[in-house]
């Protein structure tokens, strides 16, 4: 066990010079003793996870394949069963939400995925506008988007640096451009927080930097938490305020990024297993 993990969640709360979190501020996301098992006869996937996410911070989630990173994100949006424990996401008690509330919860979460999940044949602008479909009244009576939403979609595309591609089909864009469209689409929802599940796994190093910078700017500017899972340790060290390491469904390390080194993070990875596989 690494000594860093013994620090209580309260005292590991990120304190950044650029955007300090006051000691009195409570977490937006509050997870306690989260256990997830996909079915009664399947193994436990998350085994007692405690985690808080605060406004304006970027938290990098690290862990080997199968450690439970995606499951943790899914548990926050009701896509993974909460077998026991508490998951409070803003005003939602996720373990107990019913259909209508679940839709409301999902409408408030910006999600970004490795494979972008755009509709390739539709224009970039329409893809971004689809982020507003969660909100009531995004479409007018004849089924076109309201002009205020169209303007906002353009503004968001401008913010992510690809307004000039607005009318092109999404499939004609490069991976890095598509991921920026996906981020603009997430922002269209006015999200209360963002979950980015390996958002740079399909991108080259330069584009990975761009996308992670963008996510950091969004966390600061919108003052929302961004939880981002990453496979490249160095990117986590360079682009997060806090790092959480999962191993076999448990948090084995948690700390402020500025206090961590690559060596500190080695307990996250199953070195023996990886060596055997070589």
What residues make contact with ligand ATP under the rule CB under 6 A?
38, 42, 45, 63, 65-71
Query: Strands 242-247 and 58-62: what pairing?
Result: parallel
Torsion of CA 193, 194, 195, 196, to 10 degrees: -160
Determine, following the binding rule CB under 5 A, whether residue 70 of this chain makes contact with Mg ion: yes
**CB 95 to ligand ATP: min, Å:** 17
Nearer to ligand ATP by C-beta: 66 or 120?
66
Residue in the block written with tokens 């499939």: 171
Binding partner of residue 205 among Mg ion, ligand ATP, none, CB cut-off 5 to 8 Å per kind: none
**CB 107 to ligand ATP: min, Å:** 23
Binding mask of the shown chain, residues 166 to 185, with x at each position contacting Mg ion by CB under 5 A: --------------------
**CB 70 to Mg ion: min, Å:** 3
**Cβ(129)–Cβ(135) under 8 Å?**
no
Binding partner of residue 71 among Mg ion, ligand ATP, none, CB cut-off 5 to 8 Å per kind: ligand ATP
DSSP secondary structure, 107-131, as one string: HTEEEEETT----TTSBHHHHHHGG
Token pair, residue 195, equals: 């979950």
Give the residues across from 169 on adjacent strands. Answer: 123
**CB 80 to ligand ATP: min, Å:** 7
Q: Which of 86, 107, 87, 70 is nearest to 197 (CA)?
A: 70
Nearer to ligand ATP by C-beta: 18 or 65?
65
Under the rule (CB under 5 A), what is the footprint of Mg ion? 69-70
């Amino acid at each position: 066990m690494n000594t860093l993990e013994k620090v209580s969640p309260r005292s590991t709360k990120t304190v950044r010079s650029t955007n300090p979190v006051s000691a009195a501020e409570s977490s937006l996301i509050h997870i306690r003793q989260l256990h997830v098992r996909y079915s009664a006869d399947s193994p436990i996937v998350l085994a007692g996870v405690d985690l808080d996410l605060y406004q304006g911070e970027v938290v990098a989630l690290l862990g080997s394949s199968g450690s439970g990173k995606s499951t943790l994100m899914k548990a926050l949006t009701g896509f993974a069963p909460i077998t026991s424990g508490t998951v409070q996401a803003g005003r939602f008690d996720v373990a107990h939400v019913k259909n209508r509330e679940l839709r409301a919860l999902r409408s408030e979460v910006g999600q970004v995925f490795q494979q972008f999940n755009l509709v390739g044949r539709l224009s970039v602008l329409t893809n971004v506008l689809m982020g507003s479909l969660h909100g009531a009244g995004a479409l007018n009576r004849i089924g076109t988007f309201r002009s205020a939403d169209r303007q906002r979609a353009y503004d968001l595309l401008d913010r992510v640096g690809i307004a000039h591609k607005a009318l092109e089909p999404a499939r004609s864009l490069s991976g890095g451009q598509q991921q920026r469209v996906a981020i603009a689409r997430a922002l269209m929802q006015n999200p209360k927080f963002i979950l980015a599940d390996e958002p740079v796994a399909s991108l080259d190093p330069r584009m990975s930097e761009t996308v992670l910078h963008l996510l950091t700017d969004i966390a600061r500017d919108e003052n929302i938490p961004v939880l981002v899972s990453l496979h490249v340790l160095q990117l986590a060290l360079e682009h997060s305020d806090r790092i959480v390491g999962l191993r076999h469904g448990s948090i084995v390390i948690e700390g402020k990024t500025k206090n961590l080194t690559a060596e500190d993070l080695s307990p996250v990875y199953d070195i023996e297993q990886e060596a055997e596989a070589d």
